Structures are given as C-alpha cells and as structure tokens.
Structure 1
Amino acid sequence: MRRIVLGFFVVLFVGAFTALGVWQVQRLAWKTDLIARVDARVHAPAVPAPTNWDAVTRQTDEYRHVRVSGHFLNADESQVYTLSELGAGYWVMTPLKTDDGRIVYINRGFVTEDKKAPKTRPQGQLDGEVTVTGLLRMPEVKGWLFQQPNDPAQDMWYRRDVQQMANAHHLGPVAPYFIDADAGAVPGGWPKGGLTVIRFPNSHLQYAITWFSLALLLAGASIWMTWFRKPEDGEDSI
C-alpha cells in the first residue's frame, strides 16, 4: 500500500513538472514571436497614425512606427514624473491637434526636474504645423505596484493616462494611444525624444529546463529507490 501511495505522488509530481516545462516551451515560442514582431514594427518606415481609433489594440499596434501632423496645444501640456536613463525627471505629454480636429497626445520626450516648467525651455515650445514620427504606445491606465496615482486636481502625474489628462484640460475625446517621439533636434535641446525602453524579459527557456530537470530527477530518484537501492537492516523496502 505504501508503495502504491508513493508511486501515485511520484507520477503526479513528475506529470505536473513536465506539464509546467511544456507550458514554458510554449511561452518561449510566444515570447520569441512577440519580440520579432515588435522589432519589425520599431524599425519599419513610419506610417500614418491610425485614425480608426476603435480598431487600435495593444496586440496589433503597440510600438508601431507612425507619423502624424498638426499643431501642438502647448498650453495643455502635462508632465509625468519618471526615472529614465538620464535620471529623474518628466515626460512631456503634449496634445497635438490635426487638421481634421483629432487630438493625439505626443510624448515629446524627457526633461530634467529643473526643466519641468515650460517657461524654462521656451525654445522647445514649438508653434506652427509640425510632423511627428515615433512609436505608438498604449495608455498607462493602471500603475505599477506602489506607484502613486495621478492627481489631476494638483496637476501631478505619475502615469501616462491620456484620457485622464485630456479630461483635466477639458479637451474631450482623444486618441486611445500616445506617440513616443523619435530622437531629433529640438530648439533649446529639450525635451529629448527617442528614449522609449523596449524590454521583454525572456527567461522561459531557463524555466523550462528547471521544470524538466525536476521531473527527471524525481523520476530517477524514484526508480533508484524502487529497483536499485537495497534496504538496510531493519528498514522496510519501499
């Protein structure tokens, strides 16, 4: 009876570890395909930003290289606190109004803490028609663990929730995405674009090896205990 019970649990755990290994192999294939698709989007020539907003999804459109033309609504700029490779500072989120009246938020780039106020970088507050190229990003509606929530009443922003920003500035409906501007020369040097971080952790192969190794070790130990190990004096055989 004891041998049957132990055998049952060995089979159960070997099966579970193997299933987890297979799942990680499947995740590895999915992640590898995702990385390839995103890399192709990022390095493709810029295409017009989507105007059929209802059709935009994270899966099909995020990190697509796009372009849009219009006029910046500099008076409605918001600054979102961030930690970047240049240190602590802010993303400059500026709504852009196209010729057909649509509004798309542009993440114009990073400014240091002493450049938060637009008056400290007047040359970068572009007037007239501009054309922006960059990567399409989805709004940050949910924050990370321990991240402070946005405080529209105090004009304090910690995540790039574009509709919430638009509501605070009474802009009405805006595109359900924003565009991270490409790097480029800006009068006065600020904001600095082209700082999008694209990083997809891909440890699924290591996880798969770990699960398969556990399954193999458990199966091997069970076989050795059952068939090759000799019980010592006074010890029951499994």
Structure 2
Amino acid sequence: MPAKDASVTDLSKPASRSGGRRIVTGIAVLAALAILLSLGTWQVERLHWKEALLANIGERLAAAPVPFAEIEKLSADGGDIEYRIVSATGRYDNDRERHFFATWNGETGYYVYTPLELPDGRFLFVNRGFVPFERKEAGTRSDGQLTGEQAVTGLARARLPAKPSWLVPDNDVAKNIFYWKDLDVMAQSVGLEKARVLPFFVDADNRANPGGLPVGGVTQIDLPNNHLQYAFTWYGLAAVLVVIVVLSMMRRRRWPEE
C-alpha cells in the first residue's frame, strides 16, 4: 500500500486556515459596514427630526399668545406645551419665591421662581428672570417685588418628571437653592398644596421690572443641530472601509503569493 504523501497534507492545512480567516474577516467587515451605515442613517433621521422641531419652535415663538385655559388643557392631556406663548393674570406671592441656580450672559446667579396666585386661588410658578448671586435675597431688590394684580406674558415650560442626570446636584431646599426644577418640592417647601399648583411653569418675557431686577426673558433656546456632520462622519468611515477592502482585494490578485 503506497505511503501517504505528507507534503500534500502539510500544504492543505495553510490553505484551509487562510480560507477560514478570509471568511471571518469578511463577516467582520460586513458587520462593521452595516453598523456604520446604520449610524449614518440614524443621524439623518435625527437631522430631519431636529429640523422639524426647530421649525415648530420658531412658529410658536412667532405666534400670538395662546389662551391660558388652552395651555392648561393641553398640559392635562399630556400634550406639548413647550415654548408656547401664554398670558396669565394674578398676584405674586413674593414671600414664597424659589431660587434656581443659573448663569446668564456669563454671570452666576439665580432665576427667581415666584408663585403667581390666579383669580381662582390656584398658583402658577413664574420664572421672573435672573438676579446676580449677591442679589439673591429679596430685600436687596425690593423695587422689583411687584404687588397688586399683574399681567404676565411668557413661554410655557413643562415640568421635569425626574432629576435630569446623576451629575446634577441635589436641591438644597434648606438654603432655597434648586439645581433642577422639582415643582412638587418647590411648592411643598413654601407650604403650597400640590392640588393648588399648576403642573407647569411660565418663563416671563423681557418686560423690564422696577429697579431692573429680575431680568426677564432668560429662556435659552439653544438646541444644537450637528446631525448632518455626524451623518457625514459615519458614512465617510463606511466609505473608507469599502476602499480599504477593495484595495486589499486588488493587492491579493496582483500578488497572490502574499
């Protein structure tokens, strides 16, 4: 019986291993390409969503004030009330103002949230605007503590359902310093029943207050829209991957012995 040619067996093993590596490499390349294309497509979808959102906000800011009852109903129905212009009438309960830590035009200070008592006895927390750090106490800006019936026009803002992030500090209720707008705690800390407090805020417009404080119109609408460049990045990486694969295949055909 003729002996088995060991040289033939030894040559077949490297070829088999090489074919296996190519299959694994091909699967990895296809998976990476699918991921990159998916990320690029997702960013395009986000781009369309962000453009529609910005257009929607622009329309709301240019529209006439929405009746307060309509905003209230929309909020109760779970609708989107953000950045809708609304007007309300009532009396500020200045002794119950709450302070939200913020910066305005590069200056550190607070946004002053004051309950506005509506004619029906309910309360609406109004962000009256910014005061510098050293003017936190109401006694340092008594001219701006409006009394009597006031008409307020501003932007409706939805309440936050929970703390935005673990990076945000806990509210210091004892010192009346809030780092996130927890409406329930803001109301409870000044003795207001939850049932008597409207479940949203209003950011007052830039109408000047006596004495210049608080500075109204502080709503910052800064929604970055970088989705197009992100899409180019992911699609670009996919294109680079394809080019690398094509060049690699051309090299193998030109120098098969490698």
Q: CA deviation at 1:26?
A: 0.6
Task: Assess, with a 3 A threshold, how the Cα gap between structure 1 residues 109 and 89 changes in structure 2: closer, same or farther.
Answer: same
Name stretches of at least 5 consecutive residues in structure 1 with no aligned partner: none
* Aligned equivalent of 2:245: 222
Matched, 1:55 2:39: no
Where in structure 2 are the equivalents of 1:1-238 lying within 5 Å?
Answer: 1=19, 2-49=21-68, 50-52=71-73, 53-57=75-79, 60-140=80-160, 141-173=162-194, 174-230=197-253, 232=255, 235=258
Q: Distance in 2 between matches of 1:56 and 1:126?
A: 32
Residue 171 of structure 1: SS of its match in structure 2?
coil
- Structure 2 counterpart of 1:55, one-letter code: D
Contact 1:143 1:149 survives alignment (8 Å)? no
Greater Rg by CA: 2
Q: Distance in 2 between matches of 1:15 and 1:137?
A: 40
Task: Assess, with a 3 A threshold, how the Cα gap between structure 1 residues 68 and 167 changes in structure 2: closer, same or farther.
Answer: same
After alignment, is 186-195 or 142-151 more displaced?
142-151
Query: Displaced runs of 4+ in structure 1, greater than 6 A?
Result: none
Identity of counterpart residues, as a percentage? 40
- Structure 1 counterpart of 2:76, one-letter code: D
Residue 147 of structure 1: SS of its match in structure 2?
coil
- Structure 2 counterpart of 1:33, one-letter code: A
- Structure 2 counterpart of 1:126, one-letter code: L
* Aligned equivalent of 2:14: none
Q: Deviations over 1:73-107 (max 9, x none)?
A: 11111111112215001111000011112211000
Q: Distance in 2 between matches of 1:25 and 1:163?
A: 38
Q: CA deviation at 1:144?
A: 4.4
Q: RMSD between aligned alpha carbons?
A: 1.8
- Structure 2 counterpart of 1:122, one-letter code: S
Q: CA deviation at 1:210?
A: 1.0
Q: TM-score, normalised by structure 2?
A: 0.84
Residue 51 of structure 2: SS of its match in structure 1?
helix
Task: Assess, with a 3 A threshold, how the Cα gap between structure 1 residues 56 and 189 changes in structure 2: closer, same or farther.
Answer: farther
Q: TM-score, normalised by structure 1?
A: 0.91
Q: Deviations over 1:144-163 (max 9, x none)?
A: 45332112233232222222
Residue 51 of structure 1: SS of its match in structure 2?
helix
Q: Deviations over 1:92-151 (max 9, x none)?
A: 100001111221100000001121111111111111111111111123441445332112
